Amino acid sequence: MASPQTAIATRSALAQVQISADPQPKAHLPYGLPIVDDCLSCKLRTDNFFCALSRPTMQALDEIKHTASYPDGAIVFMEGQASRGVYIVCQGRVKMLATNSDGKTFILKIAQAGEILGAHSVITGQPHELTAETLQPCQLAFVRSEDFLDFLKQHGDACLHAAQSLGRQCQSAYDVIRSVGLSHSVSEKLARLFLQWSADAPASGDALRLKLTLTHEEIAQLIGSSRETVTRVLGDFRKRSIIELSGSALVIRNKTALEKLAAR
C-alpha cells in the first residue's frame, strides 16, 4: 500500500498536469462545473472577489492566467513545496491545512470562491506554509510567479487587492488562534464555530438553517480536536436541543445557548 506521502505527491503531480494542459472549450468543465474562462464576462464575481478589478486590469489578468478543474480531494500545492505561482478560486472551496510529523492535521482556513491562494509564498519567495486541498470539485485560475509579480507592478488596483487579501488572511489566522488557543473546551470551540457560520444564515422562525458540508473529522481539524470528541459534543448539543442534524442540514435551535457556551 502506498504511503500517505506518496499518495499526496501523486495527486499533486496530477494537479500539475491539469494546470499545464490547454483544454478545448466545452459547455461544462469536468465534475459538472460550468465554464468560467473569461474574468470580464464572469457572472460569479462579486465585489469581494480578488478579480473584482478595473476592466483593463481584468483583461491583463485574462492574458496571463490558465484555468483548470479539480476533483474533490485534489492537492493543489503542498506545505514546504516551492511556489510556482498563485491560484484564484473561481468556483468551489479549498481547505488550507497544516500537518505535523505525527500526521495530525489542522485546518487553518477554508478558502471560498474569489480568494487567492499562495500569494504570500510568491511575494516572499518562501515555500508554501500550508497545503491546499479541494473540499469539492473546483475551478482554479493559475498565474505563474513571474507573471503575477509583473502584474502587480503594472496594475495598482491589483496590488491593492493583493494586499487586502493578505490582510484578510492574517485576520482570519488571528481569529483561529484566538478561538483555538483561548477557548477552554471543545464545546466552547464548537459553539464559536457554529456562531461564525450562522452569521449570514437564513432564519426560519427562531431557528437558523445551515448546510453542513464538512465531515466530523474536518470539523475536528478546524478546532484542533479529535473526531470522537466532536461527535460526542454534537450528540450533547442535540440532546440539549441546541442543534438538529439531518444529513447535511444543521439547524441551530437555541442560538442563545451557543452564545453562552462561546462566552465562557
Q: pLDDT band for position 234 (50/70/90)?
A: very high
pLDDT of residue 28: 53
Residue 31: DSSP 8-state: G
Determine which of 44-58, 67-81, 149-163 has the lowest per-residue pLDDT on average.
44-58
Residue 15 pLDDT greater than 50, yes or no: no
pLDDT of residue 182: 66
Residue type, 200: D
Q: Distance between CA atoms of 75 and 95, rounded to whole angstroms?
A: 10
Which segments of 70-210 does DSSP mark as H helices, in order? 119-124, 145-154, 156-182, 186-197
174-210, pLDDT tens digit by residue?
877 777 666 678 898 888 888 888 776 666 666 888 8
Residue 157 pLDDT greater than 60, yes or no: yes
pLDDT of residue 138: 93
Q: Distance between CA atoms of 181 and 188, rounded to whole angstroms?
A: 11
Residue corresponding to grid cell 442560538? 255
Q: Which domains does the chain have, with CATH numbers?
A: 4-180 (2.60.120.10), 183-262 (1.10.10.10)
202-229, pLDDT tens digit by residue?
666 668 888 878 889 988 888 888 889 9
Cβ-contact 121, 166 below 8 angstroms: no
Cβ-contact 238, 244 below 8 angstroms: yes
Most confident by average pLDDT, 20-29, 34-43, 45-54, 151-160: 151-160
